Structure 1
């Protein structure tokens, strides 16, 4: 049923799925989204083959790189370290690092509506700082590997 709804909606724009927590990612990917929004957790490494195939077929992933559960004491460094660790493990399992960077977006793990504007701004600032680290890492890789 989900795949039929998604196929119908794709005539109007990009169709994606968002899950704030762990899910049956292979089944969700089978439904045919063009975009997947998922938390950046270690559990993702176990389905890296499915995610790799999804990206090879043009799919994009919005990584919930900054947690929004519980009190928010956002540290871009800690969030970057976690995301980078996940991406490194995915690359070790065969995911192309260039594809991973170019087909990824960064987002909070969940919505920001329940936070004050000041806290939401902190979360967005952390996302911006993480994106700068992704860009810097990509630039360094190009210099080292000539990519």
Structure 2
């Protein structure tokens, strides 16, 4: 999908903060990334975990104590699965309103989303785009388990429902956010994809990954959104670069040398007008967070940008098709370190934009 949105080096976030107050988190977000604001996830709340936050609506979903799983052995599962597909078909083929469907994300599951919407309704800022996020289908499918603890991804029927659920949760967000008349970016957060190709997922095929991505990205595109895929470690980058994703979000700080190995795929990706989200500010190493500065990170980005330019691009084009982000979310950091990350992210973006 060729898109006309040019982020021009604006700063953006991956999505999480180490806080327990959604209103205060939104205040920080609007202060540090007003050009591409987003709703903030607070992983201090168990309900905002990567599987839990988007699991409601899954057929057979069962909660016991602090665990959630799909009980496909329950005698009611077949009826629940049928009801799920009927609701899915009503939205995708029957003209049903996704806003009123079982796929809606409710405020008790994502308070940050509703705080974000209220602030946008108030005209809090004049952004270039707005951003949402959802757990990607591979990470969701390998994190959600059945009653025996087996990942849902390995059960073809449960996997299909899980992928469709994530696709509809993504589509619902774009449907809600597009009312502001701005480009809507929807990131699929895929930390588990770093394990694809390893012994941990040896039985998972590239075709299965491609099919999952295609279905969710198609749902985002159906509502007019831009789909991004975020991986916070190294990955089999052609899986993403050769997908229909509009944005590839990668850890440029730690893994650029691995990423640039796929020069032909990167060249094709950028030639199609798509976007790189450079995770240039470290989040996984507290010593690096303390020692790096906006100046050192800007210098690092310049060196990396030159290697992208060597593929046949002008600097202005590289900047036009770039977002500047932390390498991952900051929800697992101390608040002090998280603040340093988001401040450096803003300053690096300012330096890049000022260099044009």
Q: Normalized per residue, which structure has more helix? A: 1
Root-mean-square deviation (CA, aligned residues, Å) is 1.6
Aligned residue among 241, 248, 251 for 1:36: 248
- Per-residue displacement from partner, 1:1-31 (whole Å, max 9, x unpaired)? 1223311231122211001111111121222
Aligned residue among 295, 320, 325 for 1:102: 320
Higher Rg: 2
TM-score by length of 1: 0.84
2:221 aligned with 1:10: yes
Distance 1:58 1:91 in 2: 15
Give secondary structure in 2 for the equivalent of 1:64.
strand
Residue 303 of structure 2 is matched in structure 1 by 85
Distance 1:125 1:46 in 2: 30
Equivalenced residue count is: 138
Gaps of 5+ in 2: 1-210
Distance 1:96 1:116 in 2: 39
Q: Conserved in 2, the CA contact under 8 Å of 1:17 and 1:36?
A: yes
- Per-residue displacement from partner, 1:60-103 (whole Å, max 9, x unpaired)? 11110111112121322222222111111111231232221011
Q: Conserved in 1, the CA contact under 8 Å of 2:267 and 2:311?
A: no
Aligned residue among 117, 131, 143 for 2:335: 117
Q: 1:49: how far off?
A: 3.1
Residue 145 of structure 1 is matched in structure 2 by none
Q: Does the C-alpha gap of structure 1 residues 121 and 78 become closer, same or farther in structure 2, counting only changes over 3 Å? A: same
Q: Conserved in 2, the CA contact under 8 Å of 1:25 and 1:47?
A: yes
Aligned residue among 272, 278, 295 for 1:57: 272
TM-score by length of 2: 0.37
Residue 22 of structure 1 is matched in structure 2 by 234
